[in-house]
Amino acid sequence: MSSPANWRSEGEPPGEIEEFWRELAGTRDTVRFDEYVAGCLYHPLVGFYSRSGRSGRDGDFLTSPEVGPLFGTLVARAVEAWWEQIGRPDPFAVVEVGAGRGTLAAEVLGEVGEACAEALRYRLVEVSAPQLEIARARLEGVRGVDFGSEWPPARRTVGPAAHVVIANELLDNLAFRVLQSTGDGWDELHVGMVDGELVEILLPVTGEVPFPRLPPGVRIPWQVEAATWVERTLAVEGLRRLVCFDYARTTAEMAPRRWWEWVRTYRGHRRGSHPLESPGRQDITCDVALDQLPGRPTVVTQAEFLREAGLDEITAEAERIWLEGAARGDLEALAARSSLSEARALTDPGGLGGFKVIQWVR
Ligand SMILES: C[S@@+](CC[C@H](N)C(=O)[O-])C[C@H]1O[C@@H](n2cnc3c(N)ncnc32)[C@H](O)[C@@H]1O
| CA of 357 relative to ligand 1 center, distance in Å | 16
- Percent of the chain at pLDDT exceeding 70: 94
Q: What is the pLDDT of residue 270?
A: 83
Residue nearest to atom 3 of ligand 1 (CA): 169
Which residue, 354, 277, 360, is CA-closest to 64? Answer: 354
For the Cβ of 125 lying below 6 angstroms from any atom of ligand 1, the answer is yes
Q: What is the pLDDT of residues 181-213, one digit of tens each?
A: 999 999 999 999 999 999 999 999 999 999 999
Residue 317 has, within 13 A of its CA and on its CB side, a CA count of 9
For the Cβ of 49 lying below 6 angstroms from any atom of ligand 1, the answer is yes
Residue 92: enclosing H or E segment and its boundaries?
strand 92-97
Burial 124-134 (b: 16+ CB within 10 A, else e): bbbbbeebbeb
Q: What is the mean pLDDT of residues 89-94?
A: 97
Q: What is the pLDDT of residue 153?
A: 82
- Percent of the chain at pLDDT exceeding 90: 83
Q: What is the pLDDT of residue 159?
A: 62
Which residue, 301, 283, 286, is CA-closest to 349? Answer: 301
| CA of 49 relative to ligand 1 center, distance in Å | 9
Q: What is the pLDDT of residue 10?
A: 63
Alpha carbon distances (Å) from 324 to 69, 185, 330, 336, 339: 22, 65, 10, 10, 15
| CA of 338 relative to ligand 1 center, distance in Å | 26
Q: Residue 215 pLDDT > 50, yes or no?
A: yes
Which residue, 143, 141, 76, is CA-closest to 103? Answer: 76
Atom of ligand 1 nearest to the CA of 54: 27
| CA of 125 relative to ligand 1 center, distance in Å | 8
128, 147, 242, 243: residue to mutate for ligand 1 pocket, most atoms within 8 A of CB: 128
Alpha carbon distances (Å) from 127 to 111, 160, 196, 256: 26, 22, 30, 34
Outline where the chain has alpha helix (H): 16-25, 33-42, 64-67, 69-85, 103-111, 114-119, 129-139, 224-234, 251-254, 302-308, 311-325, 331-347
For the Cβ of 166 lying below 6 angstroms from any atom of ligand 1, the answer is no
Strand pairing category for 30-32 and 120-125: unpaired
| CA of 72 relative to ligand 1 center, distance in Å | 16
User: Which range, of 62-76, 155-169, 231-245, averages the lowest pLDDT?
Assistant: 155-169
Concatenated DSSP letters of 15-35: THHHHHHHHHHTT-SEEEHHH
Q: How far does CA 204 lie from the centroid of its chain?
A: 30
Measured CA angle at 125 (ends 124, 129), to 5 deg? 110
Cα 42 from Cα 283, distance rounded (Å):
10
Which residue, 1, 10, 2, 15, is CA-closest to 265? Answer: 10
Binned at pLDDT 50, 70 and 90, residue 158 comes out as low
Q: What is the mean pLDDT of residues 242-254?
A: 97
Q: What is the pLDDT of residue 2?
A: 40
Question: Does 324 or 360 have the greater pLDDT score?
Answer: 360
Q: What is the pLDDT of residue 1?
A: 38
Q: Residue 267 pLDDT > 50, yes or no?
A: yes
Note whether 105 and 139 are within 8 A (CB): yes
Rg (C-alpha) for the chain, rounded Å, is 21
Q: What is the pLDDT of residues 36-57, one digit of tens each?
A: 999 999 999 999 999 876 777 7
Which residue, 31, 46, 21, 3, is CA-closest to 272? Answer: 3
Q: What is the pLDDT of residues 99-117, one digit of tens each?
A: 999 999 999 999 999 999 9
For the Cβ of 132 lying below 6 angstroms from any atom of ligand 1, the answer is no
Q: Residue 265 pLDDT > 70, yes or no?
A: yes
Q: Residue 3 pLDDT > 80, yes or no?
A: no
Q: Residue 300 pLDDT > 50, yes or no?
A: yes
Q: What is the pLDDT of residue 7?
A: 58
Residue nearest to atom 1 of ligand 1 (CA): 169
For the Cβ of 131 lying below 6 angstroms from any atom of ligand 1, the answer is yes
For the Cβ of 151 lying below 6 angstroms from any atom of ligand 1, the answer is yes
Cα 146 from Cα 243, distance rounded (Å):
20
Instruction: State the sign of the Cα–Cα–Cα–Cα dihedral 94, 99, 104, 105.
Output: positive
Alpha carbon distances (Å) from 61 to 12, 71, 123, 288: 20, 16, 24, 18
Note whether 286 and 221 are within 8 A (CB): yes
Q: What is the pLDDT of residue 325?
A: 83
User: Which range, of 6-15, 42-51, 268-277, 343-352, averages the lowest pLDDT?
Assistant: 6-15
Q: Residue 225 pLDDT > 80, yes or no?
A: yes
Chain mean pLDDT for the chain: 93
Q: What is the mean pLDDT of residues 8-30?
A: 85
Which residue, 95, 29, 12, is CA-closest to 282? Answer: 12
Cα 219 from Cα 214, distance rounded (Å):
9
Helix, strand, coil percentages for the chain (3-state, nearest 5): 35, 25, 40
For the Cβ of 47 lying below 6 angstroms from any atom of ligand 1, the answer is no
Atom of ligand 1 nearest to the CA of 174: 16
| SS3 state at 274 | coil
Q: Residue 5 pLDDT > 60, yes or no?
A: no
